[in-house]
Amino acid sequence: PGRRAPLLVDEAAVASMRPGSVIVDMAAASGGNVAGTRPDEVITIGGVRIHGPTDLAARVGSDASRMYARNVLELVKRIVVDGAIVVDPGDAVVGPAIVGDPDTAPVDRQEGPADE
């Protein structure tokens, strides 16, 4: 931190890549690990696209949250059928998501004043 990022991919390495290759330089904000990186720009050198995002962490958080929300929604859609909760242990998605089954899991009840 506070220093220039080391150059890990030099001009020769970029030149040796096939046209159409894509590099995302995650260190663009501190100078870049790839020769030719320009912060917040996408450049093309010899047919190789070099992305230099400086706000990658900020972008990933919202994408990850959106993906998680979509996955939870899809799981709920499989469990709620015509307004009723239907848990099918044989379902390829629902089955592995089951953590416990009240019909088969042992119940550890502690006797106490509430039971008297």
Residue spans per domain, the chain: 11-54, 57-100
pLDDT value at position 61? 78
Strand 84-85 to strand 42-45: parallel, antiparallel, or no bridges (unpaired)?
unpaired
Cβ–Cβ < 8 Å for 51, 23 = yes
Highest mean pLDDT among 11-20, 57-66, 77-86: 11-20
Question: Which carries the bigger pLDDT value, residue 34 or residue 88?
Answer: 34
The full DSSP string for 23-84 is EE-TTGGGT-SBTT--TT-EEEETTEEEE--S-HHHHHHHHHHHHHHHHHHHHHHHHEETTE
pLDDT band at residue 98 under the 50/70/90 scheme:
confident
